[in-house]
Structure 1
Amino acid sequence: MTSLRDRRRIETRQAIQAHAIRLFLDRGYDATTVTEVAEAAGVSAMTVYRHFATKEDLVLYDDYDQVTAATVAARPETESLHQRIGLALVEMAATAIAAEKAMLLARLSLMISVPALRAHHLDSQYATQSAIVTALCGPSPDPAEEFRVRATAGACLGATHVALVRWAESDGHADLPELMRQALGFAFAT
């Protein structure tokens, strides 16, 4: 159960991020300062930095890494490794669209158009990849198994990233889970 303090912290973080996204879309990412985001959200710049370590995190931060890793780990072990990871990513995308399609689309649009965000996104993907590896291999994995899982997770994340970009370019009109399944099929065709 989430405490009142934790709920308020989550609400504050979400409000700051929503104001940041709106300002970045309206004024441009580079033209908008963290101080302007803080003013729009009704908080101090220090509060913004308490929730988001960098300006890039205002766009790219989410709580999905551990949920994604748990979703991967919960998939049937009878599935191939790429199916477990890929289908979990498809499932997570469907859930994200149902909960916050407009925000996801806005974040992706910014990520595609802003070079600094594209670069920072690689760090984000690495964190997701590492969470998946830990979920499937544990904290002290066999090096060969860790390499196999990390390579497969990286390939799945790369394929689904291509689908996310295609979905954003369609302004969210395409079927994202289907695009992801197609991209995974292309990547793992035998």
Structure 2
Amino acid sequence: MSSDDKQIIGLRERKKAKTMAAIQMHAMRLFREQGYKATTVEQIADAAEISPSTFFRYFSTKEDVVISDNYDPLLVRAFENQPAHLSPLQAIRGAMISEVADTPKEELAMARERNQLIMMVPELRAAMLNNLTQMMQLIAEMVAGRIGREPDDIGVRTFAGSIIGVNISVMIYCADHPEADFATVLDEALAKLENGLPL
């Protein structure tokens, strides 16, 4: 692939991410004003000045507009850039913390608001479980590639599941403690996991 092709793909990805963020911003405003259940896809599309069919090019359901983010490819890239001498847990910790640290404040604020909404709405919690299952598979594949094992190896899957467990605990904690800094809490939680979960 030429550098021109890579630039075109990069521009396309940035444009897509920008459109997704704009749709999510309008959706979150409507959810605040009207409530999640009372807000329709048509209203979100109208507020974002797009057609409902364009909405569905970016999000498959109304739940998806709250659950989805562009974090996965960034996490993969950050994980791949971690020094080779680090353990898988140190590498995933470094990747996750670096990506949160690099996220603009306004995006972190929206992520916090989305997280609080997810914890309050049962159908969003159910949709998040599916999302976290996909993230667990992604982590298993990343780690398996790093250590030369298969993603379905029980040790690799258990490792990936423990990372997801940490994410869930941090999400719940931060929803209950809005003043908490997500990156700090995540780093502390992953450090506890790295140290064998001392209590």
Instruction: With the length of structure 1 as denominator, give the TM-score of the two structures.
Output: 0.84
2:4: which partner in 1? none
In the TM superposition, residue 42 of structure 1 has moved relative to its aligned partner by: 1.3
CA distance in 2, matches of 1:113, 1:180: 21
Q: Runs of 5+ in structure 1 lacking a partner?
A: none
2:53: which partner in 1? 46
Deviations 1:53-74 (A, max 9, x none): 1111111111111211221222
Query: Does structure 1 residue 79 correspond to structure 2 residue 86?
Result: yes
TM-aligned CA distance change 1:46 to 1:19, over 3 Å: same
Write the letter of the residue equivalent to 1:17: Q
TM-aligned CA distance change 1:72 to 1:25, over 3 Å: same
2:165 counterpart (158, 180, 185): 158
Asked if the contact 1:52/1:58 (under 8 Å) is kept, the reply is: yes
2:68 counterpart (47, 61, 82): 61
Length, aligned pairs only: 187
CA distance in 2, matches of 1:49, 1:127: 20
- RMSD across aligned positions (CA): 2.4
CA distance in 1, matches of 2:36, 2:55: 16
Deviations 1:119-178 (A, max 9, x none): 11122122222222323334xx7448743233212212221331233223322x223222
1:108: which partner in 2? 115
Runs of 4+ in 1 over 6 A off after TM superposition: none
1:182: which partner in 2? 188
Deviations 1:89-145 (A, max 9, x none): 22222223546122111111111111111111122122222222323334xx74487
2:21: which partner in 1? 14
Identity of aligned residues (%): 33
TM-aligned CA distance change 1:95 to 1:6, over 3 Å: closer
In the TM superposition, residue 6 of structure 1 has moved relative to its aligned partner by: 5.2
1:36 counterpart (21, 29, 43): 43
TM-aligned CA distance change 1:2 to 1:114, over 3 Å: farther
1:148: which partner in 2? 155
